[in-house]
């Protein structure tokens, strides 16, 4: 597949190459030209990953320390390690890490506000006095925005990531969306994977298969993942939400994330810090 930089109108461009489809916007600096340079930077970073795919498919607990890793690989490993979930591999943080490195590049280019969104995983840069509204979709891939989060400079929120059923990555849980806010997009990405996985419940209405049946290149080979979920009982929905919320609150208490929103078949829960952000 060829690399493409596509003008989406307004401040936005799309950097498309293989599985990566990153939307980038920049205000200040050179505006859209800066965004286009950010797209080229995204290609450069993405190109560093293939030689490390075998490493990145390993459980993070099995990976030692190494000085020679590219920055993108180091951050993926670091983010997934910080979340402290034995099920995670560094690929749990790949989309958020790519977005994060692109916004950092744009900051060096002199932009005041930058957004890089990679498959629903968003990295933000807000200069002093800046703010941004982020739409929340309570079903991965849905076009419908159900909630708006107002994020201001000074809050320390630079990453918003979503994981769940129907996403590009496989999930072990039943959440249609687990949306996590954190100080880094890489960390938000890994944490969202962990929170979504935590909504795992035992039910005859949940069909699971081996991960490699859905993706021969998966980093979850040999493990059961969710294929589809039928209509859950009210008790099952509540149990899934309780499990996900418990995991999210653990991460909040450790200072790793700002908060999370979890959706299971129309039922929504969020951690305490989220409510003031909702519009």
Pick the most confident of 11-25, 127-141, 162-176. Answer: 11-25
pLDDT at 279: 76
Per-residue model confidence as pLDDT tens digits over 96-143: 999 999 999 999 999 999 999 998 899 999 999 999 999 988 777 677
For position 138, what pLDDT does the model report?
79
Confidence of residue 144 (pLDDT cuts 50, 70, 90): confident
**What's residue 24's pLDDT?**
98
7 — pLDDT class (breaks 50, 70, 90): very high
Token representation of residue 180: 């996590």
pLDDT at 76: 97
By the 8 A CB rule, do 222 and 246 touch?
A: no
Residue 217 has what pLDDT?
A: 85
Q: What is the pTM of this model?
A: 0.94
Residue 234 pLDDT: 96
pLDDT tens-digit series, residues 45-80: 999 999 999 999 999 999 998 878 999 999 999 999
Residue 200 has pLDDT above 90, yes or no: yes
Residue 146: pLDDT band by 50, 70, 90 thresholds? confident
pLDDT at residue 65, as a whole number: 83
Average pLDDT, whole number, for the chain?
94
Contact 164, 189 (CB under 8 A): no
Summarize the confidence of residues 167-188 as an average pLDDT: 93
Q: What is the pLDDT of residue 72?
A: 98
**Residue 25 and residue 114 in contact, taking contact as beta carbons nearer than 8 Å:** yes
Residue 91 is predicted with a pLDDT of 95
Two tokens at 178?
């687990």
Residues 160-178, mean pLDDT to the nearest whole number? 90
Q: What is the pLDDT of residue 67?
A: 77
């Amino acid at each position: 597949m060829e690399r493409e930089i596509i003008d989406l109108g307004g401040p936005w461009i799309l950097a498309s190459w293989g599985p990566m489809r990153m939307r980038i916007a920049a205000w200040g600096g050179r505006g859209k030209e800066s965004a286009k340079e950010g797209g080229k930077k995204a290609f450069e970073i993405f190109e560093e990953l293939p030689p490390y795919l075998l490493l990145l498919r390993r459980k993070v607990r099995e990976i030692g320390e190494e000085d020679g890793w590219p920055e993108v690989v180091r951050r993926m490993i670091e983010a997934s390690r910080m979340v402290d979930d034995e099920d995670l591999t560094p690929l749990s943080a790949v989309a958020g890490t790519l977005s994060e490195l692109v916004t950092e590049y744009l900051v060096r280019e002199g932009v005041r506000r930058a957004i890089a969104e990679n498959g629903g995983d968003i990295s933000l840069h807000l200069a002093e006095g800046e703010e941004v509204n982020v739409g929340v979709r309570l079903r991965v891939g849905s076009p419908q925005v159900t909630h708006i989060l107002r994020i201001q400079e000074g809050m320390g929120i630079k990453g918003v990531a979503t994981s769940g059923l129907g996403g590009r990555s496989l999930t072990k849980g039943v959440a249609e969306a687990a949306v996590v806010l954190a100080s880094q997009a890489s960390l938000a990405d890994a944490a969202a994977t962990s929170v979504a996985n935590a909504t795992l419940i035992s039910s005859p209405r949940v069909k699971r298969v081996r991960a490699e049946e859905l993706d021969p290149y998966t980093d979850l080979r040999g493990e059961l993942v969710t294929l589809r979920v039928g209509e859950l009982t009210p008790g099952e929905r509540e149990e899934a939400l309780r499990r996900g919320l418990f995991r999210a609150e653990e991460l909040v208490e450790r200072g790793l994330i700002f908060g999370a929103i979890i959706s299971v078949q129309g039922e929504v829960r969020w951690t305490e810090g989220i409510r003031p952000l909702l519009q």
